[in-house]
Structure 1
Amino acid sequence: MHNAYSQEIGPAMPGWSARPWPGRGPMEGDHCRLEPLDASLHADDLYAAYHLAPDDRDWTYMSSGPFPDRASYQTYIGQASASQDPCHYAVIDRTSGRAVGSLALMRIDPGNGVVEVGHVAFSPLLQRTVAATEAHYLLMKHVFDELGYRRYEWKCDSLNARSRRSAARLGFTFEGIFRQAIVYKGRSRDTAWHSLIDSEWPARRAALERWLVPGNFDEQGRQIQPLDAMQDRIPPVRR
């Protein structure tokens, strides 16, 4: 597309308006539920769940933690619960009814329809489970289908290999490295950027929904078809 001066410009956005702020109601799945983080409801469950880990490696690339005692975690979760941006959600296991992790929407930009997922803190009770993937699916669905955002971002320390693998598995596109972007925990961070945009979401949603069907798991709950294989079958979106 070109303007009156023959300069190439981006696609027009007729009728575009600012998107709503992320909702605070529950998001229900088959394996988990997302609900607004509440220190009075979730602190005990989450503190206990995180301390099932044998060491503190899960906090290495987080801006917060680890929390050496209940008081320090209570202070953190009190502040997180009151925050509007980041907007934190607890992940509730549907079987036990207990909070087993949390994640957040952050850097919320309604005017441009852009939001980032971050502060992903999944306890050993949630890691590598169907509920962990479903939690991400529920938040993506809220952002794209219910709020109508255009861009969903995933950023992490470029050295955080596990986070980068998770982004790829969920269907995010790697966009590059921002060098020396942040100083945290007394060290420099190069930040890896990933994104998912609205034109890609229908195919990514279909892959996630195919993966989540009960028939994709054996009697022991092990996946039959991996999610990344389903994502690989999706052709790239042409713009």
Structure 2
Amino acid sequence: MTLQPVTLTGHLVHLEPLSDHHIPDLLEAARDERIWQYMFYGNLAEPEHMENFITNAIRQRDFGSDLPFAVIHRASGKAIGSTRFRDICLKHMKLEIGGTWYATEYQRSGVNLECKYLLMRHAFETFGILRVQFKTDIRNARSRQSLEKLGATQEGVLRRSAIMPDGLIRDTAIYSILDTEWGMVRQGLEHRLCRHNVRGITVPQTAAIPTHMLN
């Protein structure tokens, strides 16, 4: 069995299978070089780099290891970034959410929250995944804080695990959320999405949710 491409629909965004027709929008979204500071891909603002990125993503989807998405901003209809399920292992019912980037103006807007909500809900509730993993550059304090607010547990650090495009040797922090933790994580996400006025989300009971997952 392989996981088939799917469209995940929210209220701020929908996630649709990544394809070549997203290139013009994604080139516009990729212009701010700060987006790429901690990314393996290097800077995707050049057409050739973006085309290679999408070609490789489609190849990995066909191979069955990844499901890459374009993030579509529903109000504008434009692709504003990308994310994916990666390193899919159905034998052990686990996968990673990663390769995530957004145009600068949509960061800290509720877009990432809703993307993570849609992806994890689908992974745990539709695919029946047991473990969702996240990896981030140890230097990326914003990403690490975001994962911890989701309720992810840091499991350790892979030291000197990768060479970045600028030649820096990176340490990688590993986080995870388990199926047994998803109920609490979902409540925390729904509470925070309500604060961003995302429609269709019912405010959950918050008494049992850790404070750091509510702010």
Q: Same fold (TM over 0.5)?
A: yes
Q: Which residue of 2 aligns with 1:184?
A: 164
Q: Cα offset for 1:230?
A: 8.7
Q: Which residue of 1 aligns with 2:48?
A: 71
1:197 aligned onto 2:178: yes
Separation in structure 2 between the aligned mates of residue 231 and residue 126 of structure 1, nearest angstrom = 27
Superposed CA deviations along residues 36-65 of structure 1, whole A, max 9, x for unmatched, are 10112x1111111121x2xx1221211102
Superposed CA deviations along residues 131-178 of structure 1, whole A, max 9, x for unmatched, are 221011100011000000100001111111121111112111111112
1:210 aligned onto 2:187: no
Q: Give matches, 1:2-17, under 5 Å.
A: none
Indicate if the aligned counterparts of 2:43 and 2:49 stay in contact, CA closer than 8 A. Answer: no
Q: Which 4+ stretches in 1 moved above 3 angstroms?
A: 20-23
Indicate if the aligned counterparts of 2:187 and 2:209 stay in contact, CA closer than 8 A. Answer: no
Separation in structure 2 between the aligned mates of residue 66 and residue 234 of structure 1, nearest angstrom = 33
CA-based RMSD of the aligned residues comes to 2.3
Separation in structure 2 between the aligned mates of residue 170 and residue 23 of structure 1, nearest angstrom = 26
Q: Which residue of 2 aligns with 1:61?
A: 38
1:156 aligned onto 2:136: yes
Q: Which residue of 2 aligns with 1:104?
A: 84
Indicate if the aligned counterparts of 1:181 and 1:189 stay in contact, CA closer than 8 A. Answer: yes
Range moving further from structure 2, 77-86 or 58-67: 77-86
Q: Which residue of 2 aligns with 1:137?
A: 117
Please state which structure has a larger fraction of its residues in helix: 2
One-letter identity of the residue aligned with 1:81: I
Q: What's the TM-score once normalised by structure 2's chain length?
A: 0.85
Q: Cα offset for 1:233?
A: 4.1
One-letter identity of the residue aligned with 1:60: Q
Q: Which residue of 2 aligns with 1:31?
A: 12
Superposed CA deviations along residues 172-219 of structure 1, whole A, max 9, x for unmatched, are 111111212222322312111100000000111112112223xx347x
Separation in structure 2 between the aligned mates of residue 187 and residue 92 of structure 1, nearest angstrom = 32
